[in-house]
């Protein structure tokens, strides 16, 4: 029998069990001994971040990150300023929630080059870093699969994320590795090592790539349902000395339509067997 993985190092994103309220997610995750929760803004839209933070503080779970900020690039300077203001508001929300990290989906504007979008992303991050420092909330650049390079992320590879984080050179800025976005990259092992050597590895997200994938956004697979060699990538991450949470982040219309308690059992089994 193989060793059981420690559920205390398992974190689940609220979006993964989207049909549940935050209270329901906390109760069900805690009952299973899951150690962490990453909170999407929609999970506290009604109650506000302070109330949500209190609920989590009163639970045995640790808040791992707030998801998500970013979307910095825009051709119009006024839109870029609005993005900076929105991200500053989000930093206040992260502090109220007690989240030590905001995951950044950095954005892209298809009416300009990706290089120009990346410059604006760096500018946006630099504009909010002093506030991040003051609040003690870190920022993690999450590279997205290149199929999203039109509007969601001009940063498609871990190399690009590492390069930017190294250029900005702040303790508060690092990277977020998500196997769904990066599994195909032949430089992944090298870049994960580089993230580790530069103390940039802030978070690690897992799920699977279904074959065929029927929807670009909401057809992510449970670990083991697809073609990603998750144990291999997890090993590369562990080899850097990373001791953070393994975060299950699945957007799936298929799974959201099922009984979420049964789905949570499947997540735990998939985590034990395929991650």
Q: Which of residues 196-215 bind Zn ion (CB under 5 A)?
A: 205
Q: Which residues contact 133 (CB under 8 A, 6 or more apart)?
A: 170, 172
| Piece of the chain touching Zn ion by CB under 5 A; list 26-34, 43-51, 233-241, 243-251 | 243-251
Question: Which of 178, 191, 219, 246 touches Zn ion by CB under 5 A?
Answer: 178
Q: Which residue's CB is nearer to Zn ion, number 70 or number 73?
A: 70
Placement of tokens 């562990």 in the chain: 238
Are 56 and 43 in contact by the 8 Å Cβ rule? The answer is: no
- Give the residue with the Cβ less far from Zn ion, 20 or 204: 204
| Closer CB to Zn ion, 20 or 40, in the complex | 40
21-28 — which CB contacts under 8 Å span 24+ positions?
A: 22/47, 22/52, 22/55, 23/55, 24/260, 26/55, 26/56, 26/59, 26/61, 27/59, 28/260, 28/261, 28/264
241 within 8 A of 197, measured Cβ to Cβ? no
In degrees and rounded to multiples of 5, residue 7 shows phi and psi of: -70, -15
The stretch near Zn ion (CB under 5 A) out of 23-31, 122-130, 195-203, 246-254 is 246-254
- Contact range with Zn ion by CB under 5 A, out of 36-44, 78-86, 249-257, 266-274: 249-257
**Rule CB under 5 A: is residue 68 a binding residue for Zn ion?**
no
Q: How many residues bind Zn ion (CB under 5 A)?
A: 3
| Min dist. Cβ of residue 135 to Zn ion (A) | 22
Per-residue mark of binding to Zn ion, 111-130 (x: CB under 5 A)? --------------------
Joined together, the tokens standing for residue 8 give 């205390």
Dist CA 248 CA 208 (whole Å):
10
35, 249, 250, 270: residue in contact with Zn ion (rule CB under 5 A): 249
Residues forming the site for Zn ion (CB under 5 A) = 178, 205, 249
């Amino acid at each position: 029998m193989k060793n059981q993985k420690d559920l205390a190092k398992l974190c689940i994103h609220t979006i993964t069990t989207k049909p549940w309220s935050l209270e329901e997610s906390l109760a069900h995750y805690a009952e299973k001994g899951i150690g962490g929760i990453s909170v999407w803004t929609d999970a506290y839209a009604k109650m506000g971040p302070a109330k949500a933070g209190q609920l989590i503080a009163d639970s045995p779970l640790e808040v791992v990150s707030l998801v998500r900020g970013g979307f910095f690039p825009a051709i119009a300077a006024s839109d870029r300023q609005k993005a900076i203001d929105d991200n500053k508001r989000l930093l206040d929300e992260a502090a109220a929630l007690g989240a030590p990290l905001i995951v950044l989906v950095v954005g892209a504007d298809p009416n300009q080059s990706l290089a120009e979008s990346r410059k604006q992303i760096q500018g946006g991050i630099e504009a909010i870093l002093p506030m991040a420092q003051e609040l003690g909330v870190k920022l993690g650049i999450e590279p997205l699969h290149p199929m999203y390079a039109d509007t969601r992320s001009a940063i498609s590879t871990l190399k690009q994320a590492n390069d930017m984080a190294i250029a900005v050179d702040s303790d508060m800025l690092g990277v977020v590795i998500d196997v769904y976005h990066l599994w195909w990259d032949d430089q992944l092992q090298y870049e994960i090592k580089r993230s580790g050597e530069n103390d940039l590895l802030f978070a690690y997200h897992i799920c699977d790539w279904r074959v065929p994938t029927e929807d670009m956004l909401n057809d992510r697979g449970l670990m083991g349902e697809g073609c990603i060699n998750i144990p291999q990538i997890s090993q590369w991450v562990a080899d850097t000395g990373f001791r953070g949470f393994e975060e299950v982040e699945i957007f799936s219309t298929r799974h959201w339509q099922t009984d979420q308690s049964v789905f949570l059992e499947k997540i735990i089994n998939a985590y034990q067997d395929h991650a």
